[in-house]
């Protein structure tokens, strides 16, 4: 059966086309101010990449914060279910799944069979989401792509006082003025966001295996800081972590 999953996030809309669990095509579009159009565009691109006509699609599952406005999808998939299914697809032993996106962070604990038993969400505060890294990268005058690898060059631990992204920005500027190396500041930034993410994880209870998905899973600085915060528990990341929830939505649509 061929299904599609669309994850309409705050920043990007991700689409995958699956046949019996195998990824045939995938695409990503900025969500912008028109999520429905981003969803249609990403679906068209993913279908083209898969070499499949739209008529061959059996079902479309939609998830992410923009899912209510996606009329092209018949199934609305709860984000917790999507992330659970997506993570299990890549790592069958997953018991704790963490999804960190541009504006939200989520953790869910699964039972042996992969059913969600508890979850926690942060969707109101930038401190535990990609928006935090973006704001800090701007203050530090490095790109979001560069800031993660930069933090790995440091082994100095500088605690940040501020949790709030707005206050943390002033703190970062203060560090720059105190001539602290950019790598060390970057490390402090990643330790700070990892601390927020780890606190969501602890709310649901940490259990191995831990899987990290979402756009922020691409950031090696966050991966390394989070592993430290979770007392060295290995954090598994799939090859294209930003598509994790979209894969889950496509699997949910397949039933």
Partner 1 sequence: MVSANKPECWRWTESSWRNPDLDWCTARFVTVGIDVGSVSSQAVLVADGRILGYANMRTGSNSPDSARRALRSALDAVAMPPDRMDGCIGTGYGRVNVPFADRTLTEITCHARGANFLFGPGVRTVLDVGGQDIKCIRCDEKGRVTNFVMNDKCAAGTGRGMEVFADLLGVPITEVGERSFEFTGPEPAAVSSTCVVYAKSEAIGLLRKGWTREQVLAAYCKAMAERIFALVERVGVKPGFAATGGLAKNRGIMDRLMRRIGLERLPTEWDAQIAGALGAALFAYDRCLKGGD
At its nearest, how many Å lie between partner 1 and the CB of residue 167? 6
Task: Write down the least CB distance from residue 203 to partner 1, Å.
Answer: 17
Stated length of the chain: 255
CA distance to 44, 232, 242, 244, per residue, from 116 (Å): 31, 24, 20, 16
Query: Rounded to an integer, what distance in angstroms lies between the CA atom of residue 183 and that of residue 158?
Result: 11
Task: Please say which residue, 177 or 231, places its beta carbon nearer to partner 1.
Answer: 177
Least Cβ distance, residue 122 to partner 1 (angstroms): 10
Q: Between 47 and 198, whose beta carbon lies closer to partner 1?
A: 198
Q: How many CB atoms within 10 Å of residue 80?
A: 22
Q: Which residues bind partner 1 (CB under 8 A)?
A: 33, 103, 124-126, 131-132, 135, 139, 141, 163-167, 170, 173-174, 177
Beta carbon nearer to partner 1, 7 or 171: 171
Least distance to partner 1 from the beta carbon of 10, Å?
8
- Closest CB to partner 1 among residues 118, 123: 123
Residue 126 neighbours by CB under 8 Å, 6+ apart: 103, 132, 135, 165
Q: Which of 110, 75, 82, 74 is nearest to 9 (CA)?
A: 82
DSSP state of 128: G
What's the rounded Cα separation, in Å, for the pair 224 and 41? 34
Closest approach of partner 1 to the CB of residue 187, in Å: 20
How far apart CA 95 and CA 74 sit, in angstroms, is 29
d(CA 25, CA 17): 5
Residue 54 CA to residue 139 CA, distance in Å, equals 44
> Closest approach of Cβ 166 to partner 1, in Å?
4
Radius of gyration of the chain (CA): 18
Tokens for 79, please give them.
């984000």
Q: Considering the complex, state which of residue 74 and residue 164 has its C-beta at the smaller distance from partner 1.
A: 164
Please identify, using beta-carbon distances, which residue of 78 and 163 lies nearer to partner 1: 163
Closer to partner 1 at the Cβ: 35 or 61? 35
- Max alpha carbon distance in the chain (Å)? 61
Packed helices 130-140 and 144-151: angle between N→C axes, nearest 10 degrees:
90
In the complex, minimum distance from the CB of residue 138 to partner 1, in angstroms, rounded to a whole number: 8
């Amino acid at each position: 059966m061929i299904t599609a999953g669309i994850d309409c996030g705050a920043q990007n809309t991700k689409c995958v086309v699956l046949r019996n669990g195998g990824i045939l095509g995938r695409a990503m579009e900025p969500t912008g101010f028109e999520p429905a159009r981003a969803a249609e565009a990403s679906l068209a691109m993913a279908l083209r990449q898969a070499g499949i006509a739209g008529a061959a699609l059996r079902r479309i599952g939609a998830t992410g914060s923009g899912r209510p406005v996606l009329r092209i999808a018949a199934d609305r998939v709860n984000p917790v279910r999507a992330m659970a299914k997506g993570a299990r697809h890549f790592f069958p032993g997953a018991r704790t799944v963490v999804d960190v996106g541009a504006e939200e962070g989520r953790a869910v604990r699964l039972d042996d069979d992969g059913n969600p038993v508890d979850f926690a969400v942060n969707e109101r505060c930038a401190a535990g989401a990609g928006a935090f890294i973006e704001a800090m990268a701007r203050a530090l005058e490095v790109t979001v792509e560069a800031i993660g690898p930069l933090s790995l060059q440091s082994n100095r631990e500088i605690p940040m006082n501020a949790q709030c992204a707005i206050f943390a920005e002033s703190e970062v500027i203060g560090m720059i003025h105190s001539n602290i190396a950019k790598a060390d500041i970057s490390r402090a930034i990643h330790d700070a966001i990892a601390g927020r993410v780890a606190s969501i994880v602890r709310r649901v209870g940490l259990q191995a295996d831990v899987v990290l998905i979402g756009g922020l899973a691409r950031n090696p600085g966050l991966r390394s800081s989070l592993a430290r915060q979770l007392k060295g528990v290995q954090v598994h990341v799939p090859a294209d972590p930003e598509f994790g929830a979209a894969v889950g939505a496509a699997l949910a649509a397949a039933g």
